Amino acid sequence: MRGFFTRGGAVIAFVTSGRVNDHYRIVGAHTDSPGLFVKTAPEGQAFNFGTLEVEVYGSPLLNSWLDRDLDLAGHVVRRNGSLALFRTASPIARLPQLAIHLDRSVNENGVVLDKHAHLRPVWSTGSTAVTIRDLAAALAEVKPDDVVSVHAQLVDHQPASLLGVDASLLASGRLDNQLSCWAAVDAITKVENNSGVAVVALFDHEEVGS
């Protein structure tokens, strides 16, 4: 017998022979990754640029988010409790690094970032009437007045790739911990029903202490 169930961002999958005393093999991983989550009503302005307020989730390397083309992705919650996914098709924001003449000691001291003061992605020039709520609703094809809440994060627009002279290296965002999730799911799909009890447990919110 085999099956799975989900709750929120967590997934539990299993294969069992039906024999109670069989040995167990359990693999655990987590579905979430460190990143930048968009706050509620995040729209702001600084130096005549439209900016977004974000919250650091987990323990990302903050400097790795600089000078990347960033998409917006997540889900909206409808009034009936259902979820609708969305993602921008093209980059929507960027965290620009200071030019060298504004940070002369960067090569000696490294990039020093305050997660509250310095992580304000730019997403427009001047002011804009567009809101994250309206944008998310449009992308999710949901009427704005049917949206109860928006759960959004910024993600690297660059797709995963194989590199190296022999294409043996994998470069991607969110390898922590989606690579383990993929390996675990791939493994359990190949388990035979008569080989004991196999369980894959993929938990959400591990990055913040689940």
Distance CA 23, CA 17 (A): 10
In a domain, 161, yes or no: no
Per-residue pLDDT, 209: 73
Per-residue pLDDT, 9: 87
Q: Which long-range contacts (CB under 8 A, 24 or more apart) does 86-89 make?
A: 86/136, 86/139, 86/140, 87/139, 87/155, 88/135, 88/139
Alpha-carbon distance values, 42 to 130, 151, 170, 181, 206 (Å):
11, 12, 34, 31, 25
Element counts in the chain: helices (H) and strands (E): 3, 12
Residues 73 and 118 in one domain: yes
Residues 44 and 18 in one domain: no
Q: Which residues of the chain, if any, have pLDDT below 70?
A: 210
Residues 39 and 132 in one domain: yes
Per-residue pLDDT, 208: 78
What is the tally of structural domains in the chain?
A: 2
Per-residue pLDDT, 6: 94
Distance CA 17, CA 172 (A): 37
Distance CA 181, CA 189 (A): 12
Distance CA 69, CA 11 (A): 30
Residues 13 and 90 in one domain: no
In a domain, 47, yes or no: yes
Residues 77 and 138 in one domain: yes
Distance CA 182, CA 193 (A): 20
- Model confidence over 132-173: pLDDT tens digits? 999 999 999 999 999 999 999 999 999 999 999 999 999 999
Tell me which of 128, 156, 184 is where a domain ends.
Answer: 156
Residues 102 and 77 in one domain: yes
Residues 90 and 191 in one domain: no
Distance CA 71, CA 91 (A): 5
Please name the amino acid found at residue 197.
V
Furthest-apart CA pair in the chain: how many Å? 69
Per-residue pLDDT, 156: 97
Per-residue pLDDT, 210: 52
Which residue range(s) make up the domain with 10? 2-32+174-208
Q: Which residues pair with 203 in a beta bridge?
A: 30
Distance CA 135, CA 43 (A): 12
Residues 51 and 94 in one domain: yes
Per-residue pLDDT, 155: 97
